[in-house]
């Protein structure tokens, strides 16, 4: 399989990232590898913390492991789009801590991509592996130590797709993006119309409805079904309504990943012993 590397649009390979211009000179790098378009929040937070402590810069590598999927390039285009979103969020977070971040795209086998990057971009101190990739796929190809970040059970049990909506932020934080805001407005309109239709129907035909709904007996299911329908339509409408107004859960609260990373343990990957062995032929 052919491997190819490219930088995300708007970033040059040798260009100094904007955030790199400030702060102390950083020589070492931490490589963060993901096979997802959106990098996991646990590994991002951990990488930022370690980079801050060590004074390192971060090299984030997104590996598209299925570049030749026969879907007319749809997956690759979605992958790159998600990667651009993830890179922007990563950069925002890194800027607040004055850590240079460079994001790269690679297609092909993850281990091979890491090996080439390590040779090209040295010195790399160590590699952090995002969820979705196993360390034993990276470690045999990698000249530097490979670590995986184990987050809390709740977080790790979440499904991570290649272009999963579980991005740099956990669920809900995506709503901060303008794309999501427009989605809230759209949902608000759709569910608002649905709710209005239900209410209009009930109050227009209230006499007939009251006649059946208060009959009792097996008809007791009618009011129950009705309130379930209203909970669905109006519940979604009210939720989108507050979100569209920008009233959402606290951002401090929506970072369970942060607290999870606190408890996280960095597990060194077992390395394959590839040293040549002395052999004797008798």
Answer for which of 2, 21, 74, 247 binds another protein (CB under 8 A) is: 247
185 is an interface residue for another protein by CB under 8 A: no
Answer for which of 55, 140, 145, 172 binds another protein (CB under 8 A) is: 172
**Smaller CB separation from another protein, 68 or 205:** 205
Least Å distance, CB 138 to another protein, is 31
Least Å distance, CB 43 to another protein, is 20
Q: Residue count at the site for another protein (CB under 8 A)?
A: 46
Copy the structure tokens of residue 204: 């227009």
**Smaller CB separation from another protein, 11 or 95:** 95
231 is an interface residue for another protein by CB under 8 A: yes
**Smaller CB separation from another protein, 12 or 96:** 96
**DSSP notation for the chain:** ---EEEEPTT--SSSPPGGGGSSS----EEEEEESSSSPPHHHHHHHHHHHHHHT-EEEEEEEES-TT-TTTTHHHHHHHHHHHHHHHHHHHHHHHTT--EEEEEEES-HHHHHHHHHHHH--EEEEEE-TTS-HHHHGGG-SS-EEEEE--HHHHTS---TT-S--SS-TTGGGGSHHHHHHHHHHHHHHHHHHHHHHHHHHHTHHHHHHHHTS-GGGGHHHHHHHHHHHHHHHHHHHHHHHHTT----TTTT-HHHHHHHT-EEEEPPPP--PPPP----
- The C-alpha atoms of residue 76 and residue 212 are separated, in whole angstroms, by 55
158 is an interface residue for another protein by CB under 8 A: no
Each residue 56-95 as x (binds another protein by CB under 8 A) or -, in order, gives ------------------------------------x--x
Least Å distance, CB 235 to another protein, is 4
190 is an interface residue for another protein by CB under 8 A: no
**Smaller CB separation from another protein, 68 or 199:** 199
Least Å distance, CB 203 to another protein, is 7
Least Å distance, CB 174 to another protein, is 13
Side-chain half-sphere of 239: how many Cα atoms within 13 Å? 13
- The C-alpha atoms of residue 212 and residue 4 are separated, in whole angstroms, by 67
**Smaller CB separation from another protein, 252 or 278:** 252
Answer for which of 206, 266, 270, 272 binds another protein (CB under 8 A) is: 206
Write out the residues near another protein by the rule CB under 8 A. Answer: 92, 95-96, 153-154, 171-172, 198-199, 202-203, 206, 209-210, 213-217, 219-224, 226-228, 230-231, 234-235, 237-239, 241-242, 247-254, 256
């Amino acid at each position: 399989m052919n491997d190819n590397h490219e930088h995300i649009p708007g970033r040059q390979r040798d260009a100094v990232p904007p955030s790199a211009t400030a702060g102390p000179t950083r020589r070492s790098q931490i490589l963060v590898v993901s096979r997802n378009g959106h990098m996991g929040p646990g590994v991002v937070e951990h990488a930022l913390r370690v980079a801050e402590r060590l004074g390192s810069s971060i090299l984030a590598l997104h590996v598209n492991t299925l570049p030749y999927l026969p879907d007319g390039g749809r997956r690759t285009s979605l992958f790159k789009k998600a990667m651009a979103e993830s890179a922007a969020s990563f950069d925002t977070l890194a800027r607040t801590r004055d850590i240079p971040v460079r994001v790269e795209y690679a297609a092909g086998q993850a281990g091979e991509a890491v090996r080439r990057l390590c040779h090209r971009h040295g010195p790399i101190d160590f590699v952090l592996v995002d969820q979705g990739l196993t360390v034993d796929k990276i470690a045999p190809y990698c000249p530097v130590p490979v670590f995986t970040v184990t987050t809390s059970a709740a977080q790790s049990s979440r499904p991570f797709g290649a272009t999963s909506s579980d991005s740099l932020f956990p669920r809900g934080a995506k709503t901060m993006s303008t794309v999501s805001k427009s989605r809230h407005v759209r949902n608000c309109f759709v569910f608002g119309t649905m709710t209005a239709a239900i209410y209009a129907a009930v109050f227009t035909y209230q006499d007939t409805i009251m006649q059946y709904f208060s009959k009792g007996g097996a008809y007791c299911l009618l009011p129950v079904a009705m309130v379930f329908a209203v909970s669905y339509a109006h519940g979604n409408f009210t939720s989108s309504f507050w979100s569209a107004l920008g009233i959402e859960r606290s951002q401090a609260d929506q970072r369970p990943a942060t607290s999870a990373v606190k408890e996280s343990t960095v597990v060194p990957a077992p390395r394959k012993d590839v040293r040549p062995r002395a052999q004797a032929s008798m």
